[in-house]
Structure formats: structure tokens, C-alpha cells
Chains A and B, each alone.
Chain A
Amino acid sequence: SAVISQKPSRDICQRGTSLTIQCQVDSQVTMMFWYRQQPGQSLTLIATANQGSEATYESGFVIDKFPISRPNLTFSTLTVSNMSPEDSSIYLCSVEDHFYPNTEAFFGQGTRLTVV
């Protein structure tokens, strides 16, 4: 199983500023996934980060707003740029471990972001 360290665990930020969230995995993984969970909602995929290439963003999410870095197979960052109160959410990174026929998906501890 993979262990993911995500930080910061929480932050309160002023509107218009940016926050970078880091995820460190204890093993090499090809794909890392970034999710957002708005208050009272389920998880929504922001983007898929593959090492050595640009992240793939889901509909409704753009690189200028959520730039992602993936410098190696164990680390990724997500930046929430030019924040507004609507960005207040929990942000989660995730990796998967496949061992046919099973799969496990692991999550970081989450970053609870409040924008004021």
C-alpha cells in the first residue's frame, strides 16, 4: 500500500492570493490524481498528473487556475491561483495501486482551504 503525505493540512487565505499544496508518496507511481471536495459535496476530479508531461484537466478546470507540477514519480503539487471564496474546499491527492484483479486507491490527508 502507498502512504501519501499531503500538506498543508489546512489554511486560511486571503482572496486574490495563491496556495500550493504538496503531495509526497512513499513509492513511485505513474499517475497522481487531484480532487476537490466542496462543502457537503462528493469528490470531483480536477486533473490527472503524469510525470514528464502536462497534466490532463477535467471539464471546468483550467491550468491557469490550477497549475500542477509533477517533477518526479513520487511528488506533485497543485496550486490554487487567484483564490476566491468559491475555492473554499478540501483538496485531495490520490494514487492507485493495481494488482490484478484488484485495485486500491489511496488518498492524502486532504487540505482544507478557506478563502476569506
Chain B
Amino acid sequence: GQNIDQPTEMTATEGAIVQINCTYQTSGFNGLFWYQQHAGEAPTFLSYNVLDGLEEKGRFSSFLSRSKGYSYLLLKELQMKDSASYLCAILKKAGTALIFGKGTTLSVSS
């Protein structure tokens, strides 16, 4: 079976830093995705981690620990436009579909 857990909701203020955690238990693991989804829109790719460690892309960074079944998405210098749902998804094997967590709704206030 598989289980992907992430917090349902988070709130933060403009300019702050927020960390969204994702823990997983799956029968196979190739890599982990993070997506951003604004209401009514399709998910937008943020990152893909296949190796342990931190990947940085501008204001967004993603971390993976395969041995701990743990990842986080770090958002720095938060902006109002960062208010969205953030989806953690597992790729068990290349060529198979992604398995999504339930998503974390982030609300950024001024």
C-alpha cells in the first residue's frame, strides 16, 4: 500500500519563510514531486527530487530523505501570489502515474 501525508492547511505572512512537510510510505520509490496549484487551475511543476539532499530554485527549495521517507518544500520571501495548494506526489516507477498526497493549502496574508 501507500500513504502520503502532508498538513491540510498552513498560514504565513508576506516576507516570511514556510516549510511544508511531506512524509510517505510506498512500496516503490523513484522520486518525489512538488506541485503548486492555484484554485481552478492545473498543477504547476515546482521540483523533482530523486536523490537525498536539498534542491534550490530561486525562492523555492525542496529536500528529500529517502531513508526517512520525508520531504519538505521551503518557500522563502513569501508573496501573496504564493497562496495556493501545494501537492506532494510520489513516482514509484518510471512510466507509471504519480500518486498524490491530499495537498496543503497555504494562505499568505499581509
A interface residues (Cβ-Cβ under 8 A, vs B): 30-31, 33, 35, 41-45, 48, 92, 94, 96, 98, 101-110, 112
Contacts and interface: CB of A to CB of B under 8 A. Distances in A.
A112 B31 CA distance: 29
Given A43-B43, A112-B40, A101 B50 contact: yes
B25 to A, nearest CB: 17
Interface of B: 30-31, 33, 40-43, 45, 48, 50-51, 87, 89, 91, 94-103
Given A42-B103, A45-B99, A92 B42 contact: yes
> Is chain B's binding surface mostly helix, strand, loop or mixed?
loop
B99 A103 contact: no
A107 B30 contact: no
Main SS of the interface on chain A?
strand
B87 A105 contact: no
Contacts of A30: 95
